[in-house]
Amino acid sequence: MTVELDWGNLGFEYRNLPFRYISYYKDGKWDEGSLTGDAQLHLSESSPALHYGQQGFEGLKAYRTKNGDIQLFRPDRNAARLQATAKRLRMAEVPTEKFIDAVMQVVKANEEFVPPYGTGATLYIRPLLIGVGDVIGVKPATEYIFTVFAMPVGSYFKGGLAPSSFVISREYDRAAPLGTGGSKVGGNYAASLQAEVEAKEGGYADAIYLDPATHTKIEEVGAANFFGITANNEFITPLSPSILPSITKYSLLYLAEHHLGMKAIEGDVYVTDLDQFIEVGACGTAAVITPVGSIDDGEIHHVFHSETEVGPTIRRLFDELVGIQFGDVEAPEGWIYKVK
Ligand code: PLP
Ligand code: COI
């Protein structure tokens, strides 16, 4: 059973659902954790998450299948990435089993908000880990809160599987060469807000960032990874320590090679070589696959396939990925977790 919502027209907006999960770390260990109806966090005014950005988060989705079941896509990968983020920011790690159990509890408790199959909408799940407690010097917290909340969402970029236009950020980097670009931490997004707002004011969906050391290579979009398709049947995506290791991207690398018979490559993507691509896409949990119709770089306007039509390879990749996520296409071993 689902509640009544305009499922086909959901945007990517916060919604306060009945239940979320919360767990506290103190004296070197996590408590059991539990569901709560309270959507407010209560924390010390001196929490390191607030002052020094000691926090990390994740994003994953629950999908309703044709027969009404609910399933998750590779939640173990999100757990592992949050652990890597925790290591980088010297936070307490959330064990994989605890992470997946928390996600399952939240999905089950809010089951009626998991959108019906066929609407294209999904339940977006946001795990969050923050350093809390009475700390004022710059040092890691000794107490942490791990919370998981969720909301039904539609497309992140307007139009879903319709091409969007992007602009290369020449004035702002989102990450530093040896910084935290490879971790899912709020600071990266704070650093991207200026470029994102300016991109949107210019009529673009978002900005595309260059490698912060040389500014010659494509890194990623503000909220998604980047890939391109060449006329030689290659799927190419940037390899860099300062981009987020996207679970969608690694899934597409696998599907491109093993399901579509393409050559899948992680490597340098120079801005000067952008015209090698006949199709370009942005990929991520929220973005799914968003076709990149065009990229502006100063005066240069690059068009990929079409500014209005989705290209054939991106459509095949989309059908394969989304088919797996919604249970219509057989998934590689271990990718799908049923919510029971
Ligand atoms: N890059 C950035 C900066 C992101 O925020 C996201 C979203 O999570 C991604 C890439 C895509 O990662 P994933 O496919 O794991 O959602
Ligand atoms: C995601 O795709 O899960 C993201 O985190 C992207 C964005 C909403 C920050």
Q: What is the pLDDT of residue 331?
A: 98
Ligand 2: nearest atom to the Cα of 189: 9
Chain segment 188-242, per-residue pLDDT in tens: 999 999 999 999 999 999 999 999 999 999 999 999 999 999 999 999 999 999 9
Q: Does the C-beta of 59 come closer than 6 Å to ligand 2?
A: yes
- Examine domains 7-153 and 164-325 and report if their fold is the same: no
> Cα separation of 113 and 115, whole Å?
6
Supply angle C-alpha 286, 237, 257, rounded to 5: 95
For domain 7-153, the CATH class is alpha beta
Asked if the model's pLDDT at residue 158 lies above 90, the reply is: no
* Greater pLDDT, 2 or 54: 54
Chain segment 113-148, per-residue pLDDT in tens: 999 999 999 999 999 999 999 999 999 999 999 999
Structure tokens of 338? Answer: 């049923």
Look at the pTM and tell me if it is higher than 0.95: yes
Q: Does the C-beta of 286 come closer than 6 Å to ligand 2?
A: yes
* Helix, strand, or coil (residue 5): coil
Structure tokens of 128? Answer: 């969050």
Contact yes or no for 139/112 (Cβ under 8 A): no
Ligand lying nearest the CA atom of residue 286? 2
* CB burial readout 191-216, b (16+ within 10 A) else e: bbeebbeebeeeebbbbbbbbbeeee
Contact yes or no for 229/235 (Cβ under 8 A): yes
Residue 200 annotated among the catalytic residues of the structure: no
pLDDT (average), residues 275-297: 97
Kindly give the distance from the C-alpha atom of residue 57 to the centroid of ligand 2, in angstroms, as a whole number.
9
Chain segment 63-115, per-residue pLDDT in tens: 999 999 999 999 999 999 999 999 999 999 999 999 999 999 999 999 999 99
Asked if the model's pLDDT at residue 159 lies above 90, the reply is: no
Query: Based on the number of CB atoms within 10 Å of its own CB, is 11 exposed (0-12), middle (13-18) or buried (19 or more)?
Result: exposed
Chain segment 254-279, per-residue pLDDT in tens: 999 999 999 999 999 999 999 999 99
pLDDT (average), residues 270-297: 97
Ligand lying nearest the CA atom of residue 220? 1
pLDDT (average), residues 163-178: 97
Q: At what angle do helices 96-109 and 75-88 cross, to 10 degrees?
A: 130
Ligand lying nearest the CA atom of residue 126? 2
The arrangement of secondary structure in 164-325, i.e. its CATH architecture, is Alpha-Beta Barrel (3.20)
Asked if the model's pLDDT at residue 28 lies above 80, the reply is: yes
Percent of the chain with pLDDT over 90: 97
Q: Whose CA is nearest to atom 3 of ligand 2?
A: 59
Instruction: Give residue limits of the domains in the chain.
Output: 7-153, 164-325
Q: What confidence tier does 160 reach under pLDDT thresholds 50, 70, 90?
A: confident
Chain segment 49-58, per-residue pLDDT in tens: 999 999 999 9
Q: What is the pLDDT of residue 35?
A: 98
Q: What is the pLDDT of residue 161?
A: 87
Q: Whose CA is nearest to atom 4 of ligand 1?
A: 223
Q: At what angle do helices 312-325 and 247-258 cross, to 10 degrees?
A: 110
Q: What confidence tier does 1 reach under pLDDT thresholds 50, 70, 90?
A: confident
Choosing from 60, 74, 188, 244 the residue with most ligand 1 atoms within 8 A of its CB, the one to mutate for a pocket test is: 244
The one catalytic residue among 29, 98, 184, 249: 184
Residue 77 CB partners (closer than 8 Å, separation 6+): 247, 250
> Cα separation of 305 and 291, whole Å?
9
Residue the block writes with tokens 């801005």? 271
Asked if the model's pLDDT at residue 27 lies above 90, the reply is: yes
Of the listed ranges 120-124, 128-132, 160-164, 245-249, the least confidently predicted one is: 160-164
